[in-house]
Amino acid sequence: GFPDLEIADMYGKKVRLSSLEGNVVLIDFWSPSLGNSNALNADLKQLYEKYHDSGFEVYQVAVETSKPMWINTVQEQSLPWISVCDLRGEASPALTIYNVRKLPAKDLYGTSLEQQLEKLL
């Protein structure tokens, strides 16, 4: 069991986290406003491309209030995974549900994430 989320993507389509059941899912909280988002997403893109066909999925929750900022960042970085945002910024209920206190909220990344993916997939 995990707390389910249902947040809109950049096209306004609500995407349920539970719709990804059966995959290994990384829930990634980030902010396009942070200067390091490009580097962090670039590293994640490499793992996503390597493991996506084996059942790895990313549900990336943007913590942002500016829709243009969020959409431009997703498009500029060509993010291939599910990217959602409720445009509530730090007031997003998703932060409370998942007890996120800092951004980016990555407890598992780089080599550690890849090792876990190898185990789970």
76-98 per-position pLDDT tens digit: 999 999 999 999 999 999 999 99
Distance CA(112)–CA(53), nearest Å, equals: 20
User: Quick check: 9 pLDDT over 80?
Assistant: yes
Distance CA(14)–CA(36), nearest Å, equals: 27
Residue 103's pLDDT is 80
User: Quick check: 111 pLDDT over 70?
Assistant: yes
* pTM of structure: 0.91
**Which tokens hold the place of 106?**
């990555």
**Which tokens hold the place of 42?**
């670039």
Distance CA(32)–CA(67), nearest Å, equals: 10
Helix (H, G, I), strand (E, B) or coil at 26: strand
Residue 76's pLDDT is 92
